Amino acid sequence: NLTIVWHRRDLRIADNPALDQAIAQNGATIGIFIFDPQILESKAEDQTTGAGQVDFMLGCLQELQAAYQDLGSDLLFFHGDPAKTIRDIAQTLNAARVFFNQDVEPFARERDRQACAALAEIGVEVKSFLDLALHAPDAISTNSGTPYKVYTPFWRSWIAKAKPQPLPSPAKLVGLDGRTSESRSIEAKAIALPRLADLGFSCDQDIPTAGIKAAEQCLQDFCDTNKIFNYQQERNFPANPGTSMLSPHLRFGTIGIRQVWQATVAATEHIRSDEEKAGLQTWRQELAWREFYQHVLFHFPDLATGAYRSQMQVFEWDDDEAKFAAWCKGETGYPIVDAAMRQLNQTGWMHNRCRMIVASFLTKDLIINWQWGERYFMEKLVDGDQAANNGGWQWSASSGMDPKPLRIFNPASQARKYDKDGEYIRRWIPELAGLTTAELLSGNITPQQCKERGYPMPIVDHAVQQREFKRRYGEAKESL
């Protein structure tokens, strides 16, 4: 009476619906994780995997295995095509069932469809559960039953719904009986947790701490230090992030979204002012953005491979390789853009305000296809998540569902507003540290100053490019 829990992006024990239901079967429960070469080698058209992300994941897996072992069972690792591998594992162990938590990405859904079919062939029961979001994609819809395409009405409907409670953390698990022949043959097939280099990666980023404990610490810090209450005022200043830094943990499920929601409910008890109430509500709105993008990707899977708006499907991009390389390296000559790209390259995380600035710059100033940026982000972001990333890029490129389409950020005025002391720029571009704040934020560092400091001159003129983008945007509209 064995249940196998197939972990993918739910790398935790507590508040885990698939594991919770497996335990309820009153038999043995083991966890498995399959390293999928399609994902690791970025083989599918819409899949890009970066070293920082894999490094973080390996840290989470190590901790998850230890947690399984502490409770009396184990997490076993395998490598190969998921459908074939899981069928083989279930057969070898003579398992009664396989449980897993659902995903919304088109690639993952197709993988799961294949795995379910392979398990059905050998008569193994399969069940999947909602875990990624508080509400399933079909649970939030317009009055006419269609999915929302606009965030604000989605939010109204989402916030009005009762939220599920976190699930209890298991106190113990029943593992395999190590003396049986099934146990011995599965051990022969399982692999040890690979090192990063074994998977063909090397990581030079200083990534956030992985794992369940780090996730809980992030959530606790965010709530205990009142950042949650100050969120509305503080969330836009990248020098001193007033945000939770939970994104890599929500990406890999080292914390459950029900537990995160519960923390917001607990925080409501301590609200002392309208501003604090607004701070908490604004943060909840971010959690709703996350679910909005998951729901739209589920309902409109074509978003993963192209622009939603037809006008942007025919838009004429420049796609200049040299300018793209300068953007990637943080050498565009626009300090706020370069600071942000260097933060991304060095740490695997970038502040949300800066994600919007660099995405606008790539698409509206360099007139480079947003999908290049989307891919680069997936290579470098530890929190790289197809739904949020694609949603963010389509929003920035004016190619998505957003009703206010043409949004062009002026990098200099963004810097003046959100990095008014130049602290963020100085931190990431040390060669400019000696300039005065007025010089840094002038949007006009002189050629002499650039030369002396080995910093590039702006590679494009914002005013010129903005006009050019608008012209092409109008042209694309007329051509339809």
Q: Minimum distance from CB of 290 to ligand FAD (Å)?
A: 4
Q: Catalytic: 370?
A: yes
DSSP string, 312-356: HHS------HHHHHHHHHT-SS-HHHHHHHHHHHHHS---HHHHH
Q: Out of 155, 158, 283, 289, which one is annotated catalytic?
A: 289
Q: Catalytic: 291?
A: no
Q: Catalytic: 428?
A: no
- Identify whether the C-beta of residue 297 lies closer than 8 Å to the C-beta of residue 391: yes
Q: Is 355 in the site for ligand FAD (CB under 6 A)?
A: yes
Q: Out of 286, 331, 423, 439, which one is annotated catalytic?
A: 286
Contacts of 152 (CB under 8 A, 6+ apart): none
Q: Is 389 in the site for ligand FAD (CB under 6 A)?
A: yes
Q: Is 286 in the site for ligand FAD (CB under 6 A)?
A: yes
Among 140, 303, 359, 429, binds ligand FAD (CB under 6 A): 359
Q: Is 377 in the site for ligand FAD (CB under 6 A)?
A: yes
Q: Catalytic: 317?
A: yes
Q: Catalytic: 352?
A: yes
What is the longest distance spanned by two Cα atoms in the chain? 76
Nearer to ligand FAD, 73 or 389 (CB): 389
Phi-psi category of residue 402: left, alpha or beta, with phi > 0 → left and psi -120 to 50 → alpha: beta
What's the CA gap between 349 and 333, in Å, rounded?
Answer: 21
Contacts of 144 (CB under 8 A, 6+ apart): none
| Contact code string over 304-343 relative to ligand FAD, x by CB under 6 A | ----------------------------------------
Residue owning tokens 């698409």: 363
Q: Catalytic: 286?
A: yes
Residues of span 219-248 touching ligand FAD by CB under 6 A? 235, 243-247
What's the CA gap between 23 and 471, in Å, rounded?
Answer: 60
Q: Minimum distance from CB of 101 to ligand FAD (Å)?
A: 16
Interacting stretch for ligand FAD, rule CB under 6 A, among 138-146, 183-191, 296-304, 353-361?
A: 353-361
Short-list 82, 80, 89, 176, CA closest to 124: 89
Short-list 239, 243, 221, CA closest to 231: 243
* Structure-token pair, residue 96: 């009664």
Q: Is 290 in the site for ligand FAD (CB under 6 A)?
A: yes
Q: What are phi and psi of 117, to 5 degrees?
A: -65, -40
Among 9, 111, 251, 375, binds ligand FAD (CB under 6 A): 251
Interacting stretch for ligand FAD, rule CB under 6 A, among 7-15, 33-41, 58-66, 376-384?
A: 376-384
Q: Minimum distance from CB of 61 to ligand FAD (Å)?
A: 20
Q: Minimum distance from CB of 151 to ligand FAD (Å)?
A: 10
Nearer to ligand FAD, 68 or 292 (CB): 292
Q: Is 440 in the site for ligand FAD (CB under 6 A)?
A: no
Contacts of 143 (CB under 8 A, 6+ apart): none
| Contact code string over 64-103 relative to ligand FAD, x by CB under 6 A | ----------------------------------------
- Give the start-end residues of each E strand in 271-400: none
How many Cα atoms within 13 Å fall on the side-chain side of residue 331? 10
Interface size with ligand FAD, residues (CB under 6 A) = 28
What's the CA gap between 313 and 328, in Å, rounded?
Answer: 24
Short-list 169, 284, 282, CA closest to 234: 282
Closest-approach residue to ligand FAD (CB): 392
What's the CA gap between 222 and 243, in Å, rounded?
Answer: 7
Nearer to ligand FAD, 70 or 206 (CB): 206
What's the CA gap between 390 and 400, in Å, rounded?
Answer: 9
- Identify whether the C-beta of residue 355 lies closer than 8 Å to the C-beta of residue 213: no
Q: Is 396 in the site for ligand FAD (CB under 6 A)?
A: yes
Catalytic site residues? 286, 289, 317, 352, 370, 393
Interface residue list for ligand FAD (CB under 6 A): 235, 243-247, 250-251, 286-287, 289-290, 293, 352, 355-356, 359, 377, 381, 383-385, 388-389, 391-393, 396
